[in-house]
Amino acid sequence: MRILVVEDDVNLNRQLVEALQEAGYVVDKAFDGEEGHFLGDTEPYDAVILDIGLPEMDGITVLEKWRAAGRIMPVLLLTARDRWSDKVAGIDAGADDYVAKPFHLEEVLARIRALIRRAAGHASSEIVCGPVRLDTKSSKASVDGKAMKLTSHEYRLLSYLMHHMGEVVSRTELVEHLYDQDFDRDSNTIEVFVGRLRKKIGTDMIETVRGLGYRIQAPQEAK
């Protein structure tokens, strides 16, 4: 999963990025509203953490522009604790949730997990597909009740496919959502990681849809 952090406070930006990366996300960052708006308007993100009080362009304006352009990624606003009017303005502008400063990083991570789950239509922190169980809270996965040892890239790939269970996901979409903007998009790493995952969860779990991409679904549902 790929997250954008738009926060002008250098230390807070760094803390958010590090916490998200440790939780298994790919993270891009911006320090002002114009840069943040550009990234959110041109790159695909599974969620955005957006501060309201940004230089160059404030967070509410950034959000309004995204929504007007049809950008539907979940957005978590960072607001000042005593500015209830900012919270109302943010929700009206299209924010999905907000956190008041100061906050605990664990709360931000929990809210991001919830936003991504809801966007994919999942209510629980656990996503189950046949024998495979993904715990988005602990960033762990198991097959037939046995814990799997996954690299960070394997986990990201499995997580994205399971969040979009039953859907055909193109290679391009996987690259865009699993790697940062500097990744070599001509690389064949997606194919390599799909092959590794198949060995760990069963070769019939991840289907190659010729010319379109990949789809994960329970074996009894496979066609």
pLDDT digits (tens, 9 = 90+) for 4-47: 999 999 999 999 999 999 998 999 999 999 999 999 999 999 99
Q: Is residue 136 domain-shared with residue 111, that is, in the same domain?
A: no
Q: Is residue 187 domain-shared with residue 167, that is, in the same domain?
A: yes
Q: What is the pTM of this model?
A: 0.84
Residue 17 dihedral angles phi and psi, to the nearest 5°: -60, -45
CATH code: domain of residue 202? 1.10.10.10
Which of these three, 89, 120, 151, is where a domain ends?
120
Q: Is residue 177 domain-shared with residue 71, that is, in the same domain?
A: no
Tokens of 193: 């990681």
CB 218 within 8 A of CB 129: yes
Q: Residue 95: which of 115, 67, 79, 75 has the closest Cα?
A: 75
CB 36 within 8 A of CB 62: yes
Residue 130 has, within 13 A of its CA and on its CB side, a CA count of: 17
pLDDT for position 186: 65
Tell me the average pLDDT across 83-110: 91
Which of these three, 63, 95, 120, is where a domain ends?
120
At residue 124 the predicted structure's pLDDT band, cuts being 50, 70 and 90, is: confident
Q: Is residue 168 domain-shared with residue 76, that is, in the same domain?
A: no
Q: Is residue 73 domain-shared with residue 147, that is, in the same domain?
A: no
Q: Is residue 92 domain-shared with residue 142, that is, in the same domain?
A: no
SS3 17: helix
Q: Is residue 116 domain-shared with residue 12, that is, in the same domain?
A: yes
Give the tens place of pLDDT for each residue, 148-161: 999 988 999 999 99
Question: Where are the strands (E) in 40-91, listed by range?
Answer: 47-51, 75-80
CB 200 within 8 A of CB 143: yes
Q: Is residue 139 domain-shared with residue 58, that is, in the same domain?
A: no
Q: Is residue 70 domain-shared with residue 131, that is, in the same domain?
A: no
Which of these three, 120, 148, 178, is where a domain ends?
120
Q: Is residue 190 domain-shared with residue 136, that is, in the same domain?
A: yes
If one counts the domains in the chain, the total is 2
CB 25 within 8 A of CB 1: yes
Domain interval for residue 78:
2-120
- Whole-number mean pLDDT of the chain? 91
- List beta partners, residue 207: 215
In order of 29, 63, 203, the CA distances from 33 in angstroms are 11, 10, 45
Residue 223 pLDDT greater than 60, yes or no: no
CATH code: domain of residue 103? 3.40.50.2300
DSSP class of residue 182?
Answer: T
Q: Is residue 8 domain-shared with residue 114, that is, in the same domain?
A: yes
CA dihedral defined by 37, 42, 48, 49, rounded to 10 degrees? Answer: -30
Tell me the average pLDDT across 108-131: 90
Q: Is residue 164 domain-shared with residue 213, that is, in the same domain?
A: yes
